[in-house]
Amino acid sequence: MEQLHVKGSEDGSFCLSSSRITLSTGDVTSLLYNGVEYQGTNKMTHINSGLGNSQVTAETKDGFVKITIKAGSEPLTQYLVAKPDDPTIYMATYITGEINPGELRWLARLRRSAVPDGWHGTAANLDGCEAFEGKDTFKCPNGETRCKMYTADRFIDDIVHGVTGPNVGIWMIMPGVAYESSASGPFMRDINSQSGDDQELYWYMNSGHVRTEPWRFGLMGPYAMRFTTGEQPSGDVDTSFFESLDIQGYVPASGRGHATGVAGGVPDGFEAVVHWHNEAAQYWTKAVDGNYTSPPMKPGTYKVKLYRGEYPIAEDTVTITAGQIETKDIVSAEKEASVIFRIGDFDGQPFELRNGDKIERMHPSDVRMGTWGGTYTVGQSKAEDFPMALFSKEGGVATVKFNLQADQVANTVLRVSTTLSFKGGRPNVKINEWQGSDPGAPELIDSRGVTRGAYRGYGEQYSWDVPASALRTGENTLTVGVYGNGDQGFLSANYVVDAIELQGPAGPDSPAAYVY
For 62-119, the DSSP string reads TTEEEEEEEESSSSEEEEEEE-TT--EEEEEEEESSPPTTT-EEEEEEEETTTS-B-T
In CATH terms, the fold of domain 253-331 is: Immunoglobulin-like (2.60.40)
Q: Where in the chain is the domain with CATH 2.60.120.260?
A: 336-515
> What does the alpha-carbon distance between residue 45 and residue 62 come to, in Å, rounded to a whole number?
26
How many of the other CB atoms lie within 10 Å of CB of 291? 13
> What does the alpha-carbon distance between residue 20 and residue 54 come to, in Å, rounded to a whole number?
20
pLDDT for the residue numbered 8: 52
Q: Where in the chain is the domain with CATH 2.60.40.1120?
A: 253-331
In CATH terms, the fold of domain 4-115+152-244 is: Beta-galactosidase; Chain A, domain 5 (2.70.98)
Is there a contact between 137 and 123 (Cβ–Cβ < 8 Å)?
no
Is there a contact between 428 and 438 (Cβ–Cβ < 8 Å)?
yes
Burial 269-285, CB ≥16 within 10 A → b, else e: ebebbbbbbeeebbbbb
Cα–Cα distances in Å, from 355 out to 103, 150, 379, 391, 448? 30, 14, 21, 14, 18
pLDDT for the residue numbered 102: 87
First to last CA, the chain: 57
Q: Where in the chain is the domain with CATH 2.70.98.10?
A: 4-115+152-244
Is there a contact between 158 and 151 (Cβ–Cβ < 8 Å)?
no
Is there a contact between 316 and 327 (Cβ–Cβ < 8 Å)?
no
pLDDT for the residue numbered 19: 36
Residues 6+ apart with CB under 8 A from 459: 310, 311, 312, 348, 417, 418, 419, 420, 498
> What does the alpha-carbon distance between residue 471 and residue 402 come to, in Å, rounded to a whole number?
11
Strand 398-404 to 374-377 pairing: parallel
Superfamily for domain range 336-515: Galactose-binding domain-like (2.60.120.260)
pLDDT for the residue numbered 10: 42
> What does the alpha-carbon distance between residue 217 and residue 299 come to, in Å, rounded to a whole number?
16
> What does the alpha-carbon distance between residue 77 and residue 247 come to, in Å, rounded to a whole number?
10
pLDDT for the residue numbered 487: 83
Query: Which portions of the chain are predicted below pLDDT 70?
Result: 1-23, 509, 512-516
